Amino acid sequence: MSFPAPPAMMGYDRSTSMFSPDGRLFQVEYAMEAAKRGWTMVGIRVNEGVVIVAEKRKTTPLIDLDHLEKVYMIDEHIGAGFVGFGSDGRILIDYARQLAVQYRFVYGEKIPIEYLVKQVCDVMQVYTQHGGVRPFGVTLMIAGVDDAGPKLYVAEPSGQYISYKAHGLGQGGGQAIEVLQKEYREDMSLDDAIVLGIKAVSTVMEGKPTAETLEIGVVETRTQKFRKLTKEELTKYLEKIGV
């Protein structure tokens, strides 16, 4: 009895570490697709600082959005968020926090942002070249201010990282990027950047944005301190843009 030949890509599709004949790693591509299914997130870098705006969804009536975190503090001068598998993202956030603590303990100063990003991406890359493991199904957005100024990086499941002035991730990332491309200016104030970030995320949200369904982290250049906006502050910004 003869059996039909398997599809040409099947063997490469099942392996994390094997290239297809046309030079693709299918498992890495699948991880990127998983990240694209996450809720929308936007990051904007201006001279006065960096902002991350993240969408939160009430997927069930009983979910408590107050305890659903999408933007995290890594160190006092760095914040981060992710789109994709929450468990994968949590592991990488915890790893980044450990790096920041170890660097401060050993050198007595805060960790440079690009060094932190590179170390996290090195771990993500390792998971693309060994059998028996899979790539992390998340894309990280890391924002902060160090002695080199405000920084915004995006780390992909492949382990590649890119510096951005503004960027969007997740399900509505493409539409958010269109808004950013039209309205972003390098001379914007941090307040203007927050407003633009809310506007970009709001354009792709299913319902009307509220202080409950948005989470915003900000790092100011002047203070080099990360903080999250309170619900009262979020409400004022929503009133400012009329939503």
pLDDT in tens, 177-225: 999 999 999 899 999 999 999 999 999 988 788 999 999 999 999 999 9
d(CA 215, CA 197): 11
Helix 173-183 vs helix 190-202: angle between axes, to the nearest 10 degrees? Answer: 140
In this prediction, residue 6 has a pLDDT band, given cuts at 50, 70 and 90, of very low
Q: How many Cα atoms occupy the beta-carbon half-sphere of 191 within 13 Å?
A: 6
Q: What is the CB neighbour count within 10 angstroms for residue 66? A: 9
Write the CB contacts of 178 (distance below 8 Å, at least 6 apart in sequence): none
Helix 190-202 vs helix 231-241: angle between axes, to the nearest 10 degrees? Answer: 80
d(CA 36, CA 52): 17
In this prediction the pTM is: 0.90
Choose the weakest-confidence range: 8-12, 161-165, 185-189.
Answer: 8-12
Contact predicate 25/128, CB 8 Å: yes
- Given this structure, which CATH class describes domain 24-241? alpha beta
Q: Give the residue from 210, 208, 200 showing the smallest Cα distance to 234.
A: 210
Contact predicate 202/242, CB 8 Å: no
User: Which one-letter DSSP state was computed for residue 80?
Assistant: E
Judge whether residue 12 has pLDDT over 70.
no
Judge whether residue 96 has pLDDT over 60.
yes
Write the CB contacts of 188 (distance below 8 Å, at least 6 apart in sequence): 44, 46, 196
Choose the weakest-confidence range: 9-18, 99-108, 160-169, 231-240.
Answer: 9-18
pLDDT tens digit string along 98-125?
999 999 999 999 999 999 999 999 999 9
* Residue-level pLDDT at 5: 45
